[in-house]
Each structure stands twice: as C-alpha cells, then as structure tokens.
Amino acid sequence: MKKSYKIDVDCASCADKMEQAAKATAGVRDAVVNFMTLKMSVEFDDGADHKAVMQDVLKACKRVESDCEIYL
C-alpha cells in the first residue's frame, strides 16, 4: 500500500534527512520526500498498520529535524 502525506520542512537537506529516517522505520518499504511539492510518499510493508507506522515515522523525523512536520 502506498500513501502520500503533506509535509513541512525548511530545506532540501532536511527533506533528505526525513526521507532517510522514514526509510529506516519498521513497516516502511520505501519512502520518497519531494521538497518541491512538500510531499512524502510512503510505501508500507504488507499488513503494516499505516497509522501506527506513520506515528513512528513522525517521531523518527522529529528526531533528525525538530522543525519538520508531517500532516497525518
């Protein structure tokens, strides 16, 4: 399953950090952050609870870039 989320982040380098953090989160198969459109698209593992996974993604992203936001 794939979902797209609106995000807020100040620069392309932080967007890249968010992408890496999302990719490293359990339940995430792949993640792509587009700084131009401020969107994060996430592909989840089969059977993953996307809502729970996104809470973890948000926490992981806040850890690398405290100013970022993901609108869940």
Binding residues for Zn ion (CB under 5 A): 10-11, 14
Beta carbon nearer to Zn ion, 15 or 53: 15
Beta carbon nearer to Zn ion, 53 or 57: 57
Min separation Cβ 7 and Zn ion, Å:
12
Beta carbon nearer to Zn ion, 18 or 54: 18
Sheet holding 69-71, edge to edge: 28-34, 39-44, 2-8, 69-71
